[in-house]
Chains A and B, each alone.
Chain A
Amino acid sequence: MALKIVKGSIDRMFDKNLQDLVRGIRNHKEDEAKYISTCIDEIKQELKQDNIAVKANAVCKLTYLQMLGYDVSWAAFNIVEVMSSSKFTYKRIGYLAASQCFHESTDVIMLTTNQIRKDLSSPNQYDTGVALTGLSCFVTPDLARDLANDIMTLMSHTKPYIRKKAVLIMYKVFLKYPESLRPAFPRLKEKLEDPDPGVQSAAVNVICELARRNPKNYLSLAPLFFKLMTSSTNNWVLIKIIKLFGALTPLEPRLGKKLIEPLTNLIHSTSAMSLLYECVNTVIAVLISLSSGMPNHSASIQLCVQKLRILIEDSDQNLKYLGLLAMSKILKTHPKSVQSHKDLILQCLDDKDESIRLRALDLLYGMVSKKNLMEIVKKLMLHVDKAEGTTYRDELLTKIIDICSQSNYQYITNFEWYISILVELTRLEGTRHGHLIASQMLDVAIRVKAIRIFAVAQMATLLDNAHLLTGNMQRNGICEVLYAAAWICGEFSEHLENPMQTLEAMLRPKVATLPGHIQAVYVQNAAKLFATVLKSQEGNTEGTPAQETSQLMVERLPLFVQSANLEVQERASCILQLVKYIQKLQQKDVEVAEEVSALFAGELNPVAPKAQKKVPVPEGLDLDAWINEPPSESESEDEQPKAIFTREEPKHSRPRHTEVDEKELAKRREVRKQEQANNPFYIKASPSSQKVYQETHGVEHIPVVQIDLSVPLKVPGLPMSDQYVKLEEERRQKDRADKKKKKKEKRKDKRTGRGKRHDSGPESEEDITPAHMVDIVTEEMPENALPSDDDDKDPNDPHKALDIDLDKPLADSEKLPVRSHRAAEALKSPGEDGDAVSAATLEPRKKRSKEKREEKKKDKDGDRKKSKEEKKKKKHKHEEKEENLLSGQADEPVVQSEESSQVAAPPTSTSAEVSDLDFWLSNAPVPSNTQEAATVAAAAEAASVPEAVSGTAPDSEPEEPKDAEMEETKSSKHKKKKQKKEKEEKEKKKKKKHHHHHRHSDAGGEESVQNGTVEEEEPLPSMSNYCLLAENSYIKMVYDIQGNLQDGSQVVVSVIFENKCDSFLKSMEFNVLDSLNSKLQRPEGSGPHDGLTVPFQLPPGVSNEARFVFTMQSIVMPQKLKGTLTFIVKNDDSSTHEKLDFKLHFTCTSYLISTPCYSDAFAKLLESGDLKSSSIKLEAVLMPFHHLLARICFHHHFSVVERIDSCASMYSRTIQGHHVCLLVKTADQTVSIDAKCDEPTLLGNVLDEIKQTFSQC
């Protein structure tokens, strides 16, 4: 034996070990790939040997190769072998390899379950440790489920080394197997007070991580954490806890108030910068949550800002960065206190570190004022010139625009300056933000009347020098600016000094190289300019220059007519014809200028972005109704799944946009009015734009109902803005003299085009709203509608599953799965014990701290000694609260959060702690309990049972009444809960009914297939022919195959792709390995192995259907085709190629097409004698006969010819014209099917498939 070992190790000498491999790779820099492939071959050889040492060595090398980016998943099984070695050395290698390359889709993982379990219970703590470490990297839902209990046991292992690992890995288990959270939680909580600091910190770590995702479930732990925070000295733990509090405070403002003091103390006392920083951060979070006016906190703000200033002034760049980061958080709520540090922040702008500069830029936003805006922007402009990286420059550019345009150009005193800044910015090379500049130009030019002359002049220059911008414009977006320039010059052409020159500039041949949408604007505005030019030239009475201008247009426009861009082409040819016509008129010496310019007359008003929403839906218009019923293919087939979705989805989305209730809107309007009143640049102030509205005698006088629209609005296909425009048009038309009627048509077009682009001012909205507001129907939200933030959550987020109420008592069903031979009790009791223990350990400490605090607070709380007084206070507070409630929604979040914390507290032993939380927090001025609490307080006084045990509230003086109070709240909560449950149940029932109804209708559809008598029969269960094709974590494919009647050799495969992940799926390619008999039809010119591109991309959660045509030679046999789907998974910032293999199963059924057949024709067919017959018997078919028929019809594409009692004849035809006839009889759960067909093989297969269908159900 020993000899064998020695021999083995001698063999080993000649193998490469990891070091040799590394050395080898380093020596083969040039042909690394080749060298590695030979190494992999060697490794494969080594893996084949029996010697575990050799294998381990090979696996070790593979681990290294994996890190270099080689796929080693082929060796997964060998890794498992090495993992199961009894020697720690090899085991460790195996687990390391596994942790590096196993993941959820590794199939050998399930083989490891028992091995891991064995290792976990190994007497050697390092075996256990290494297994835990490995498991933490590759735990799967299955493993988590199977091993949860073992890990739970390890959490109370005697060795702290194992305990801390077990505690930490529980987080991973929770993620994969959320059901384990509740049973394991009591023990986890217990570990918060583990004597070993490592275990304690691990527990803190896990709970912080859990709480970060679903903070509200962990509010009840706040007192415990608070105690840890005040007692712990481990900075790492402190940081975690403080971060956790940062997440909790937004939910519970009272908590924040409690925290401020200890946090400030920490800030003053700690020397660790990291701790200091986190404290400041949490204080900021607290302040934000309290931002509703707590004047006495200005001291803490000052403290924070001061400390941050120290950080920023520090020479350590890291501190500087973090300081700025935190500063920007303060900026949101307390801009004033930050403003005083402007000097410092400006200084940071000059820092050589880009990250720091970016942070400083963020802060600048809040620093500007009317006085210093120009100065700051000037500085930024300097930076723009100096900046080397494009990203930073782009960032600067957006920031400049942001700063200038913030709160409606509040700080801009000189718009000429702003325009010239914008023009200067256009000289930036390679920026991506051309459209941003463009929209700013348009916005300013439209909204600030006084600036138009200046703007037009500037834009004309820009157009003149367009070639400067066009240098490398195709690549970057700066040419977007020309879009704005052209439009401004055209629209406000009356301000142009030299319109002719601009017109020429716009018609230069080089323009044709611009992107299409810009060209379109060029063409349109050239026409506008042309009108202006004509007007000025005709004034001179000499016809020639005017004619020359027309000539110029006629010469240049054909260039655009040839454009590949449809929009350009269309506009250009329209205008070209117009100009030609004008030319004709000119030759006859007719004055045309007036009429031409009338085409473009009319003032443009900016349309508010929200205006669209305000348009009421006219009575009788159902936006959810189909215009045309969706085409249903062959009645019964895939209509079912579709119909369900299309009908329901609109209902979901509908309430969303009506969410804003009237009150809110009214409030917003008020605010807006205020804003407008204060805004000097608001166009409404300028006389001309008001003119239009002055004519209307108060829009309010026109009730919407009376508007009879010339165009009926029942055109759901029309975009909403059109409706709005029409409405507006209509309204104005009424009040205006009808002299302008002629122009209307033209203007309307123009408006719809532009309104969308220049939606900037709230101005017109103001005018609209009074008329429309009245009509907005506030749709009631469904009763149990949650605040919308729940909707934002990503359904795929693994953390969502962990949103579990931890305070509910454990139900019996909630045990962790235990291997059968183990006693299930062993599990149940530790959970309960844990609770008891934690409570017990809690008490003494809490008491101590309570006493201390009491002493401290005595003088403060002197007036609260008597519970009567307390009660009064409460009542008073309660009244206050009611007032608050009435006064507005601002307070609502607070109330909600309280409610939620209460709801989270059901009546159990654990719930005591939740209520404790309320006590614990109750010294804060916000009342903690609702009415019951207050009223019961008196009764409680009498009953007062001194339950000092549960009086864990460290600093609430009158304990007894509160305990009773707590009980009362408990019971009331209980009631609430019950009610809720009942409600839920009712709703469920309703849903069920609804569902039932649905099915019924489906069944109705099904029954109509039968030619025979229609009876009142049981509804059919819903059916679908779509079956699963393949699935992985990204995508799911289901498919259905149908024959193509038109072409006897084709079948159509409809595949529904469903994106299951939260990334974007694109570039999907569908490919199938053709067989001799069946081929995927590919577009001409592509090779026989090319894939077909799926013609769509899939955003997260979306599914879409694609169809692929296959050509078949013979259809008598079923067959399977192998195929692959490749696609790219695109995240925000990365994309990966993925593929999914599948097998397409062409059953013979899929070649059948349900064809109606009359009974006499059917009889003839049977008599003809050309058909071969065959038959099958189905035993024990329990379903009603009509279900059976419906199933055959649905799944196998037959149609019923005739049905008499328990006997029916059915018919179908293949795509190649084979007839298939069935005679179905039923008696005593036995169904016999006699079939005839002209192709025996086919018939046999079809019958087999039918048999299979029924064996499945």
Chain B
Amino acid sequence: MSKFYEHYSEDTEQQIIRETFHLVSKRDENVCNFLEGGLLIGGSDYKLIYRHYATLYFVFCVDSSESELGILDLIQVFVETLDKCFENVCELDLIFHVDKVHNILAEMVMGGMVLETNMNEIIMQVDAQNKMEKSEAGIAGAPARAVSAVKNMNLPEMPRNINIGDISIKVPNLPSFK
């Protein structure tokens, strides 16, 4: 999944994501988590800051107004929040519920700027919104949910071999993730 806070055409976005993945994925486990933007969009003022969790990469592209270590912490907060919201998050959660991940991210980062860093606050807001959603769905939602459950049962062996292809790259870009 990706989130851009600056407008790029779809092609450019894909190119950025590919490049980012290329850069990040070939790095060793025990090297530092910063990459200077350089060839990527935005030039020298931008840094890629990433964290690697099992098969997932969380990459933030930030400019120099952001503290590097601060962003690493933020990624940690993000992942922990995901973990709480999805109850033991795994990459499939992120793959199948992109919209939810977006909603959670929206509570943390808005328009490229850090909105909230307090995990409890974030979870509270996300939960409140989900509750609202459920109450709205009411009766109308029930049959659809049932169907979706059936569908999932029909496919017991959902593909588990999600390695390189599915990275979760988030590129809040340019004056971005300020």
Q: Does A208 contact B (CB under 8 A)?
A: yes
Please report whether the interface of chain A is mostly helix, strand, loop or mixed according to DSSP.
Answer: helix
Q: Which residues of B contact A355 (CB under 8 A)?
A: 31-32, 34-36
**Stretch of B54-62, B79-87, B107-115 with 4 or more beta carbons under 8 angstroms from chain A:** B107-115
CA distance A1133 to B96 in the complex (A): 33
Q: Which residues of B contact A9 (CB under 8 A)?
A: 140-141, 143-144
CA distance A66 to B11 in the complex (A): 10
What 0/1 pattern do residues 780 to 807 of A give for CB contact below 8 A with B? 0000000000000000000100000000
Across the interface, do A126 and B111 meet the contact criterion of CB distance under 8 Å? Answer: no
Across the interface, do B15 and A1134 meet the contact criterion of CB distance under 8 Å? Answer: yes
Query: Which residues of chain A from 1 to 51 have any CB-CB distance to chain B below 8 Å in the complex?
Result: 2, 5-6, 8-10, 12-13, 17-20, 22-23, 26-27
CA distance A132 to B147 in the complex (A): 34
CA distance A1060 to B118 in the complex (A): 42
Residue from B72, B111, B137 within 8 A of A136 (CB atoms): B111
**Stretch of A318-326, A367-375, A457-465, A913-921 with 4 or more beta carbons under 8 angstroms from chain B:** A318-326
Across the interface, do B125 and A198 meet the contact criterion of CB distance under 8 Å? Answer: no
- Chain B residue at minimum C-beta to C-beta distance from A799: B175
Which of B31, B33, B37, B97: most chain A Cβ within 10 A?
Answer: B31
Across the interface, do B113 and A126 meet the contact criterion of CB distance under 8 Å? Answer: no
Q: Which residues of B contact A317 (CB under 8 A)?
A: 30-33
CA distance A161 to B35 in the complex (A): 34
Q: Which residues of A contact B1 (CB under 8 A)?
A: 67
Across the interface, do B115 and A165 meet the contact criterion of CB distance under 8 Å? Answer: yes
CA distance A69 to B13 in the complex (A): 7
Known contacts A69-B14, A1136-B9; A239 and B36 CB within 8 A of each other = no
Q: Does A243 contact B (CB under 8 A)?
A: yes
Which of A10, A18, A137: most chain B Cβ within 10 A?
Answer: A137
CA distance A758 to B127 in the complex (A): 70
Q: Which residues of A contact B10 (CB under 8 A)?
A: 66, 69-71
Across the interface, do B103 and A92 meet the contact criterion of CB distance under 8 Å? Answer: yes
Distance between B173 CB and nearest chain A CB, rounded to angstroms: 11
Residue from B7, B15, B38 within 8 A of A103 (CB atoms): B7
Q: Which residues of B contact A53 (CB under 8 A)?
A: 140
Q: Does B67 contact A (CB under 8 A)?
A: yes
Across the interface, do B111 and A198 meet the contact criterion of CB distance under 8 Å? Answer: no
Across the interface, do A239 and B40 meet the contact criterion of CB distance under 8 Å? Answer: no
CA distance A16 to B167 in the complex (A): 24
Known contacts A168-B111, A352-B28; A1133 and B144 CB within 8 A of each other = no
Q: Total interface residues on B, using CB and 8 Å?
A: 76
Q: Does A169 contact B (CB under 8 A)?
A: yes
What 0/1 pattern do residues 111 to 154 of B give for CB contact below 8 A with A? 11111111001000100110011001101110110011001100
Across the interface, do A19 and B96 meet the contact criterion of CB distance under 8 Å? Answer: yes
Across the interface, do B140 and A6 meet the contact criterion of CB distance under 8 Å? Answer: yes
- Chain A residue at minimum C-beta to C-beta distance from B152: A19
Across the interface, do A318 and B34 meet the contact criterion of CB distance under 8 Å? Answer: yes
What 0/1 pattern do residues 88 to 128 of A give for CB contact below 8 A with B? 11001100100010011000000000000000000010100
CA distance A93 to B112 in the complex (A): 19
Across the interface, do A18 and B7 meet the contact criterion of CB distance under 8 Å? Answer: no
Q: Does A63 contact B (CB under 8 A)?
A: yes
Across the interface, do A198 and B43 meet the contact criterion of CB distance under 8 Å? Answer: no
Across the interface, do A22 and B96 meet the contact criterion of CB distance under 8 Å? Answer: yes
Query: Which residues of chain B from 37 to 61 have any CB-CB distance to chain A below 8 Å in the complex?
Result: 37-41, 43
Contact count band on A: 35 or more
CA distance A375 to B170 in the complex (A): 44
Across the interface, do A126 and B110 meet the contact criterion of CB distance under 8 Å? Answer: no
A-B contact count (CB 8 A): 200
Q: Which residues of B contact A1137 (CB under 8 A)?
A: 11
CA distance A136 to B7 in the complex (A): 12
Across the interface, do B132 and A88 meet the contact criterion of CB distance under 8 Å? Answer: yes
Distance between B134 CB and nearest chain A CB, rounded to angstroms: 9
Residue from B13, B32, B99, B132 within 8 A of A126 (CB atoms): B132
Known contacts A103-B7, A274-B70, A1132-B43; A89 and B65 CB within 8 A of each other = no
Query: Which residues of chain A from 342 to 358 have any CB-CB distance to chain B below 8 Å in the complex?
Result: 352-356
Known contacts A23-B158, A70-B10; A168 and B32 CB within 8 A of each other = no
Residue from B16, B67, B95 within 8 A of A1134 (CB atoms): B16
What 0/1 pattern do residues 205 to 242 of A give for CB contact below 8 A with B? 11011001000000000000000000000011001000
- Chain B residue at minimum C-beta to C-beta distance from A15: B144
Across the interface, do A198 and B129 meet the contact criterion of CB distance under 8 Å? Answer: no
Across the interface, do B67 and A274 meet the contact criterion of CB distance under 8 Å? Answer: yes
What 0/1 pattern do residues 161 to 182 of A give for CB contact below 8 A with B? 1001100110110000000000
Residue from B34, B69, B113 within 8 A of A274 (CB atoms): B69
CA distance A205 to B155 in the complex (A): 47
CA distance A278 to B36 in the complex (A): 18
CA distance A68 to B166 in the complex (A): 11
Q: Does B156 contact A (CB under 8 A)?
A: no
CA distance A131 to B104 in the complex (A): 15
Query: Which residues of chain A from 64 to 95 have any CB-CB distance to chain B below 8 Å in the complex?
Result: 64, 66-71, 87-89, 92-93
Q: Which residues of A contact B136 (CB under 8 A)?
A: 87-89
CA distance A61 to B41 in the complex (A): 28
- Chain A residue at minimum C-beta to C-beta distance from B147: A13
CA distance A18 to B100 in the complex (A): 11
Q: Does A133 contact B (CB under 8 A)?
A: yes
Known contacts A9-B143, A133-B106, A1132-B43; A168 and B30 CB within 8 A of each other = no
Residue from A12, A87, A88 within 8 A of B129 (CB atoms): A88
Q: Does A60 contact B (CB under 8 A)?
A: yes
CA distance A354 to B12 in the complex (A): 27
Q: Which residues of A contact B139 (CB under 8 A)?
A: 2, 5-6
Across the interface, do B132 and A209 meet the contact criterion of CB distance under 8 Å? Answer: no
Q: Does A660 contact B (CB under 8 A)?
A: no
Q: Which residues of A contact B8 (CB under 8 A)?
A: 1136
Known contacts A60-B99, A1137-B11; A206 and B41 CB within 8 A of each other = no
Q: Which residues of B contact A10 (CB under 8 A)?
A: 143
Q: Which residues of A contact B159 (CB under 8 A)?
A: 26-27
Q: Does B5 contact A (CB under 8 A)?
A: yes
Q: Which residues of B contact A2 (CB under 8 A)?
A: 139
- What are 28 of the A-B contact pairs (CB < 8 Å)? A2-B139, A6-B140, A9-B140, A18-B98, A19-B96, A19-B97, A22-B95, A67-B2, A69-B13, A71-B10, A92-B103, A100-B4, A137-B5, A137-B111, A139-B111, A164-B115, A171-B178, A172-B111, A198-B116, A202-B113, A209-B178, A236-B117, A239-B67, A243-B65, A321-B32, A352-B31, A356-B32, A1133-B41
The 6 A-B residue pairs with the shortest CB-CB distance, nearest first, are A136-B111, A274-B69, A103-B7, A317-B32, A353-B31, A69-B14
Name 12 extra pairs, CB < 8 A, besides A169-B111, A322-B68: A2-B139, A5-B140, A18-B97, A66-B10, A88-B136, A133-B110, A136-B110, A137-B111, A317-B33, A318-B68, A356-B31, A1133-B40
